[in-house]
Amino acid sequence: MSIPSDRGRKSAEDDIRPVDWEQVSQIAAAYFPHRLVPLSSAGPGSVTLKNVGIGPVGISRIDWGADVSVSSEHPDAFAVNIPLSGRLESVTGRHEISSAPGTATICPPDVLTTFPRWGASCAILGVRIDRTYLEQEMSRTLGRPGAQLPLQLDLSTPAGASWLRFVRSMSEQMRDPSSVVRNDLVSAQLLSAVTTGFVLAAIPEDVPSAGEARPRIVKRVIDAIHDDPAHDWNVLEMAERAGVGVRRLQDGFRRYVGRSPTEYLADVRLGRVREDLANAGPDDTVRAIALRWGFAHTGRFAAAYRNRFGRSPSTVLRSA
């Protein structure tokens, strides 16, 4: 069965005793849209489905209570599925992933992932992070919005174990209507911390050591770009903002960010374009959105967008 997702921007919670698999799938779609196929004639039985979250980050607990097959393309967001019991077997592209407690399966957005037999003994804690939001946090944490994530996360490392404890705590507290974390101001900060902690756990080798923290001149320019990516930036103005010469700024970006300032700017702009295309209205055009974010040459823009996201901007606009 295929159920559309309704991933609103408000916190939601469901702890149910479903009557049939249709109801089960409808509730679980708050985590991700999916196709659910029961692997036996038995009904759903005792199913636990809890969905909590605000905005671009959501946390769910799923225990089907029976053997099922599930598949999803995880549109526009990453899924981090953490087995609490049992073993989670999945196939993403040509990669077969087997995760047990102490590890987590990372499902990339817009790529079909299949769980051929999600066993009755397997309960998970799932973390959904919108792609654009995760890339923004990668930019601020690592200086690279498109850092490659693994398909499996080791939660036995100090960073992984600490992140898991934090996610468990957030999941429990957000179910309490009186908890302070249900306050929008508090939850925004904590859910950002969930995302940053995930980045640090998933890509530890990319985090600068204490002796190689990004210098202030690089951070100034990164912050300025994120504050106004549509501005007509040039490398000379960036250097002036940093208070250094062009060569020193470029050297700093190459060493600490892994790309030039203008390449970094283009990455941030592409991310903003992608978000606008996905939420475009009937009168929006690819050209208008590209111009809005500083891309004057539509041909080069379209090629860069396709290289970055694997789809043409016109395809994304039509699907929106």
Domain chopping of the chain, boundaries? 2-131, 133-206, 215-319
- Half-sphere CA count of 21, side-chain side, radius 13 A: 19
For 2-131, CATH gives: 2.60.120.10
**Domain range 215-319, its CATH number among 3.30.420.40, 1.10.10.60, 1.25.40.340, 1.10.110.30:** 1.10.10.60
CA–centroid distance for 190 within its chain = 15
Could you give the CA distance from residue 101 to residue 114 in angstroms, rounded to a whole number?
Answer: 19
Q: Are 115 and 176 in contact (CB under 8 A)?
A: no
56-70, 72-86, 123-137 — most confident range: 72-86
* Tens of pLDDT, residues 11-61: 444 445 556 788 888 878 878 899 999 998 777 766 666 666 557 888 888
Q: How far is CA 158 from CA 68, 111, 154, 213, 226, in A?
A: 33, 30, 10, 20, 31
Q: Are 67 and 118 in contact (CB under 8 A)?
A: yes
| pLDDT confidence band for 10 (50 / 70 / 90) | very low
| pLDDT confidence band for 6 (50 / 70 / 90) | very low
| pLDDT confidence band for 307 (50 / 70 / 90) | confident
Could you give the CA distance from residue 72 to residue 284 in angstroms, rounded to a whole number?
Answer: 29
Look at the pTM and tell me if it is higher than 0.85. no
Q: Are 59 and 52 in contact (CB under 8 A)?
A: yes
Residue 9 has pLDDT above 50, yes or no: no
pLDDT at position 275:
85
Residue 209 has pLDDT above 60, yes or no: no
